[in-house]
Chains A and B, each alone.
Chain A
Amino acid sequence: MTVLPSGAIDCDIHPGVPEIKQLLRYMEPFWQESFVARGLDGFDMMSYPPNAPITCRPDWRRKGQRPGSSLADMRRDALDAFGINLAICNPLTGGQIAVSETMGAAICSAVNDWIIEHWLNQDSRLRASIVVPAQAPYLAVEEIERRASDRRFVQILMPVACEMMLGRSYYWPIYEAAVKHDLPIGLHAGSMYRYAPTSTGWPSHYVQDYVANSNIFEDQLLSLVSNGIFVKYPSLRVVLLESGVSWLPGFLWRAIKTWRGVRAEVPWVKQSPADTIRENVRLTVQPIDAPPDPNTIERLMQMIDSDRMLLFASDYPHWQFEGDKVLPDGLSPALRQRIRIDNPLETYPRLKETVQ
């Protein structure tokens, strides 16, 4: 068991998922044959093109290697460099976004086997999210049930943009399984691309798709709150991974105002959306889109007005900060402590089991 005197808990770290051919050994014969006979590979997400600057910080990039694919590099560049005692692996895989439900499920399940063998079994500091095919909630639930007994899986991972808004009843079985097994739902930046990546259509540039992720996080919070998900599942925690963070206060103000105006439409939403979100939703701190000036960060923290919501994360190997500046200046020592250790422990019930 890991001892946790002072090290941080990294809530968003990305082992690079390998090509399909290295996942075949975890698949059933049907899928092994399908992928080989059809010559299928190249399932990297449009949300993170492997060579795009965001996908790997320049000094962490190794020629000829997929970003984040080496445990030795991750140990040196992140775990050891940032004094991390526990880290939650969030693999980003094409299985999560495949149009085919069963193909998506096959890839996701193989990724979960792969992460056990190549990461969780290799470094006792590592934990992981269960990668699920949200395209088919019944298959997602099967995968959750298959993995739940391994307590090193601490969260369920989904892209923030799926096939339907996440408050819809279609997804409720996933939330039921999450609550049953003490697993928060982690929503990571990235899209299934079933709809235009912005509400005004298809932009010309990747950077526009990327920045529009913060809109989707907001839309999903509205969906979860308005559909009464936190009334139905009060213990459910939702973690927003790589959301940008600084949009939160302005979003909460408008959510309160709109709810006050038309709350009769959703009578089951009895408390202010801001209260619900502060109670049930958490956000990882990379990136935190703000100028480097400590006063701005301090003002932002006052506006967020909760020392419970933010979770330490390096987002390794994604490029969000330089050097070892995982946390920005302008946070009080008490808040730093909460972000680095206390908040992650309170958010992920399964992490506590490993703390003596």
Chain B
Amino acid sequence: MNAPVNALDHSAPAGQANGIIDCDIHPFPRPGAIEQYLPERWRRHVAEYGKFTYGMYAAIGAYPRFQPYLSRRDSFPPNGGAPGSDVAFIREQLLDRYNIAYGVLEPLLGGNASRNLDEAAALCSAMNDWQASEFADPEPRLRASILVPQDDPEAAVKEIDKRAGDWRFCQIQLGSKTTEPIGRRRYWPIYAAAQANGLSIGLHVGGTFSTAPSAGGWPQFYVEEHHGLVHSMQNQCASMIFEGVFEAFPKLKIVLIEGGFAWAPTLGWRLDAHWAKMRDEVPQVKRPPSEYMRTNLWWATQPVEEPEHPEDLRQVFDWIGWDRMVYSSDYPHWDFDDPHQAFHFQMTETEKRQVFRDNALSVYTFR
């Protein structure tokens, strides 16, 4: 019943002109790689104080993970180093193998998570140089994300303006966990810069873990916390809609990455139902909340939902809208979604084109 359906069986032959687009690839630095792009002052600072994030451990997150580097066991490059650190092996194991036309780099290195805003700005800038020089330059199918110190919007906008015209960057990245809900006005300069530059924003799960993982407190286990990250995405959707972000920036494009999507239709219903009663509290919201979800939001597919009845996944796609879904693999992480294996129901040719390619082309800036 849950046998995989080869979604790409009938897709067009290889080549960048018709290859698929992968919205979530995680690059990882070789030892010392980021540091070489940092000014000496910050190199020393990072060496002494670390990234100084919100949390209890100096170097790792609160919830111990389940795999070294969060990665597939077979993704360690044969020439050594960490998964995602060797362009040649990414090419072999991912880009060539699955005929990927463009892959969006999503570094999860906590550059923007420091409580020290100057450190965050320095790290983001260094990581931007690193992605561009060590990934996009040698392999132009890989495109970088503009990392920004979002809690210092002025510095964030400076970084966006610096990178916006550079072909190697295709989006701005923010974490799904921010120190304040992401719709609040302190972040609006970032949206103004994104809209002005025609750049989409990829909201990837993670970010600054500055609040309890739940309004009910701290879960005990990773199995809870990992699932709970989905809620940060839901909160950010609600926040952007209710704070009026999409009224102020109607052309803003937000891609929600690695936060699941089966919740999207039901969240839309919930927002609509309660907005209908309490809209006098949020006069800046002019349309039913679910309508903004259909014009300004996209969902990356990984980790794909696996309903108990596989056809229910088609229902979820129908409810969200086929034009809103973009494929992502999460390479090289452990819960990687193989484009041939991940979807347990049959898509039509048109649907495949939308999910694996066309929708992403309408969102990202590939030059």
Contact = CB atoms under 8 A, between A and B. Distances in A.
Interface of A: 52-54, 160-168, 191, 194-208, 210-212, 214-216, 218-220, 222-223, 226-227, 244, 246-247, 249-259, 261-266, 274, 287, 289-291, 299, 302-303, 305, 319
A195 B181 CA distance: 14
28 contacts: A54-B274, A162-B217, A164-B216, A165-B216, A198-B231, A199-B232, A199-B235, A200-B177, A200-B239, A201-B211, A205-B282, A208-B181, A208-B238, A211-B238, A219-B213, A219-B214, A220-B216, A244-B270, A249-B312, A250-B260, A254-B230, A254-B305, A257-B306, A262-B222, A262-B223, A265-B66, A274-B308, A303-B309
B239 A208 contact: yes
A226 B224 CA distance: 7
B89 interface: no
Contacts of B73: none
B214 to A, nearest CB: 4
Given A216-B216, A262-B66, A262-B226, A54 B278 contact: yes
Contacts of A289: 266, 269-270, 273-274
The interface centre, meaning the residue of A200, A247, A249, A290 with most chain B CB atoms within 10 A of its CB, is A200
Contacts of A256: 306, 308
B215 A257 contact: no
B226 A195 contact: no
B223 A219 contact: no
Given A165-B220, A199-B235, A250-B262, A215 B215 contact: yes
The 6 A-B residue pairs whose C-beta atoms are closest, nearest first, are A250-B262, A289-B270, A219-B214, A215-B231, A195-B212, A198-B235
Interface string B216-255: 1111111110111111101110110011000000000000
Contact of B223 (A191, A222, A247): A222
Contacts of A261: 66, 334-335
Contact of A199 (B231, B270, B278, B306): B231
B262 to A, nearest CB: 3
Contacts of A266: 221, 223
Contacts of A222: 219, 223-224, 227-228
A214 B273 CA distance: 13
Contacts, number: 234
B11 interface: no
A206 B184 contact: no
Interface residues of B, number: 67
Contacts of B9: none
Contacts of A210: 274, 278
Given A215-B234, A219-B224, A262-B226, A196 B212 contact: yes
Interface of B: 66, 176-184, 210-224, 226-232, 234-236, 238-239, 242-243, 260, 262-263, 266-267, 269-275, 277-278, 280-282, 303, 305-309, 312, 315-316, 334-335
Contacts of A214: 270
B228 A219 contact: yes
A263 B305 CA distance: 18
Nearest to A257: B306
B216 A287 contact: no
B335 A287 contact: no
Contacts of A196: 211-212, 215
B71 to A, nearest CB: 13
B220 A205 contact: no
A161 B303 CA distance: 28
Contacts of A247: 263, 266-267, 270
Given A206-B278, A208-B181, A211-B238, A246 B212 contact: no
B277 A201 contact: no
Nearest to B218: A165
A166 B272 CA distance: 29
Nearest to B290: A291
Given A200-B235, A207-B242, A261-B335, A165 B263 contact: no
A263 B222 CA distance: 10
B305 to A, nearest CB: 5
A316 to B, nearest CB: 15
A83 B66 CA distance: 53
Nearest to A166: B216
